[in-house]
């Protein structure tokens, strides 16, 4: 499997501790995140929850056609938020065919 640039950057964010996981964690987190990745296999309830949080905090949401669990190395991972601003900006610039921006609110 060939990894694209966004998958690589997402892996770096995870390894450096600059990522948080899960829709419930997004709601309760005091940390500031700059982009949210949402797997297309997430339930409708999870998608609604993530979009509501993203709208409230004005964070862009990217829908992933690939399984996020492959990119981040965590089983059954449906939601990942990146805490590093520069890494998030680099990811937004390099979105490829497997990712599409569905929430375009930018801080």
Q: Provide Rg for the chain, Cα atoms.
A: 12
| Higher pLDDT among residues 105 and 57, named by residue | 57
- State the Cα–Cα distance between residues 75 and 77, nearest whole angstrom: 6
pTM: predicted TM-score of the whole model, two decimal places? 0.88
Q: How many structural domains are present in the chain? A: 1
Other C-beta atoms lying within 10 Å of the C-beta of residue 15:
11
Q: pLDDT-based confidence at 20, cuts 50/70/90?
A: very high
For 61-91, what is each residue's pLDDT tens digit?
999 887 787 778 778 889 999 999 999 999 9
Residue 3 confidence class, pLDDT cut points 50, 70, 90: low
Structure-token pair, residue 39: 């797997």
Q: pLDDT of 21-48, one tens digit each?
A: 998 998 898 899 999 999 988 999 999 9
Range of the domain at 73: 5-103
CB 103 within 8 A of CB 50: no
CATH number of the domain encompassing residue 33: 3.30.1330.30
Is the pLDDT reported for residue 105 higher than 70? no
């Amino acid at each position: 499997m060939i990894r694209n640039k966004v998958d690589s950057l997402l892996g770096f964010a995870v390894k450096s501790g600059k990522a948080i996981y899960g829709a419930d964690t997004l709601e309760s987190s005091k940390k500031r995140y700059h982009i949210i990745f949402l797997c297309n296999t997430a339930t409708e309830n999870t998608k609604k929850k993530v979009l509501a949080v993203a709208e409230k905090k004005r964070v862009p949401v990217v829908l992933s056609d690939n399984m996020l669990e492959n990119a981040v190395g965590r089983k059954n991972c449906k939601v990942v938020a990146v805490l590093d601003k520069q890494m998030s900006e680099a990811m937004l610039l390099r979105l490829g065919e497997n990712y599409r921006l569905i929430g375009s609110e930018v801080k």
